[in-house]
Amino acid sequence: MAHSGQGDVRTVNLTLRNGIPTILLLGLALTFSACASELPPSLEERAQSIDKQLICLQCPGETIDQSQVELAAQMRAAVRARLEDGWTRDEILQYFVERYGEAVLAAPPKEGFSLLAWVVPPVGLAGALFLLLLVVRSMRVRGDAANEGTEPGRMGEYLAMADAEMEGVNDGKEGG
């Protein structure tokens, strides 16, 4: 039996010797993959991101990345040309706003009057939930008030009357 105990210790030592380098290599691989994913996006990826933020003026409701009309193709080409010239995303969006107005943006800007488009929906939802809470509370209070006049002791009287009436109905059926 002493042999099996020593064999178990050797197995554990071998497992640790093999496992530690494996764990270190795995950690190193994860570190490199995380660093690789933090590379800046390519020009095409940046262009596609901007394309999704601009509305095609000929196709209501479609961004220029979805639209196949000539104007959308020209707008996509303009985005790529400006990115190649070193323009930032905000500069490109501002260029299109100056040229076509704020209607060209897929999402309204979070400033000025357009800020209402971002604020009103959550505030309206919160208000609706608050009103729902008030209605439910008032219904509960009314229900409690309506039940105050009932006497639990009278239920037995009512059931006895109902039983007597049912016996009369049953007696009438048996006789007929």
The secondary structure element, H or E, covering residue 121 is: helix 115-147
Alpha-carbon span 162 to 168, nearest angstrom:
10
Alpha-carbon span 32 to 175, nearest angstrom:
95
Alpha-carbon span 118 to 108, nearest angstrom:
8
- By three-state DSSP, how is residue 122 classified? helix
| 143 pLDDT tier (thresholds 50, 70, 90) | low
Q: Which of 9-13, 60-64, 96-100 is predicted most confidently?
A: 96-100
- Domain ranges for the chain: 43-107, 112-147
Residues 15-44 have pLDDT tens digits of 556 667 777 777 777 777 666 555 677 888
Q: State the average pLDDT over residues 150-159.
A: 73
| 107 pLDDT tier (thresholds 50, 70, 90) | confident
**What is the pTM for the complete model shown?**
0.46
Phi first, then psi: give them for residue 121, nearest 5 degrees.
-60, -50
* Of the options 1.10.10.10, 1.10.3720.10, 3.40.50.720, 1.10.8.640, the CATH number for the domain spanning 43-107: 1.10.8.640
Res 123 pLDDT > 70: yes
Q: State the average pLDDT over residues 65-93.
A: 93
Alpha-carbon span 110 to 118, nearest angstrom:
7
Q: State the average pLDDT over residues 123-127.
A: 87
Both tokens assigned to 105: 């943006």
